[in-house]
Amino acid sequence: MEKAQPKIALLGASGMLARKVREKALATGYIVTLYDLPDFDMTDRAKVLQELTRLQPDVIINCAAFTNVDGAETQQDLAMVVNGTAVGYLTEAALAVDAILVHVSTDYVFDGQKKSPYVEGDAPNPKSAYGRTKLAGEQAIIQSGLDKYFIVRTSWLYGPGGNNFVETILRLAAEREELRIIHDQVGSPTFTGDLADAIFSLLESVTSPQPPGPSLYGTYHFANEGSCSWYEFACEIVTLAKKQALPIKSQRLLPIRTEEYPLPAPRPAYSVFSKEKYLVATGAEIPGWKDSLVNYLKSRNNL
């Protein structure tokens, strides 16, 4: 008897990350059901439980979030409902249908004061409303009694189909002769395609036949290898764009301090992740951030 294709419920389906998750899921042999506003509101508990109980997915992947970091400072209640409370509804559904829950979280759960890469066991200490609401979502999962989950923290995400730093720099560099970019915040850029691959590597680690061992479920950090400042990231984007003959007007990129570009929400000064736990669990390679940026810009030109 042929085994049925596994099913994924993909929330936040119209978002930047979900676009790559859907591509990877279909290529991996999953049946994917898409959920997003306005047809599906994950803050409606009854709707979430009814629909996911009906679908009976094997995996629930949550790419939905209130991601406006600065907006969360003035819309904290809404951000908490989406990033915190609604995640609790997904854990209820996962428990009800015995599904694996994959939830994407953020480097903003940390305060950025560390000087070496953050490991999964480091104590969260968010400094922004966005970070606090995302941490609430993590805690909803951990405290729910659900065993089969992956919380995947990531950072500096970019990819096709969404607003992100790469697209912002390309747009501004085509309009202005000079760009002023923050240099005292350091992290790791992450391409959505690589994060999607990582999610499925984690899923494969618990769904493929394997000898008994410690549970691989839990919290993981994933970003592209290497680190840089926003200024260094911008310089690399502009350099590569010029090589690909994209319309670039900027002749000067100037490094500035965080206090010279004040924003409503504080950002972590340092949010580089250790990916050792992910590497041990999956054995997968992690592309370097520069290589992934090259690939993104090439693919972007072919769209």
| Distances from the Cα of 252 to the Cα of 103, 217, 241, 274, 293, angstroms | 39, 46, 14, 33, 21
Q: Would you give the distance in Å from CA 293 to the centre of its chain?
A: 16
Q: What's the token pair of residue 47?
A: 């709707």
DSSP 225: B
Segment holding 228, helix H or strand E = strand 228-229
- Helices of type H across the chain: 16-27, 45-55, 76-80, 86-97, 129-142, 165-175, 192-207, 230-243, 276-282, 289-301
Cα torsion 26, 31, 37, 42 to 10°: value is -120
Provide the annotated active-site residues.
Answer: 130
Question: Which residue matches tokens 């995302």?
Answer: 134
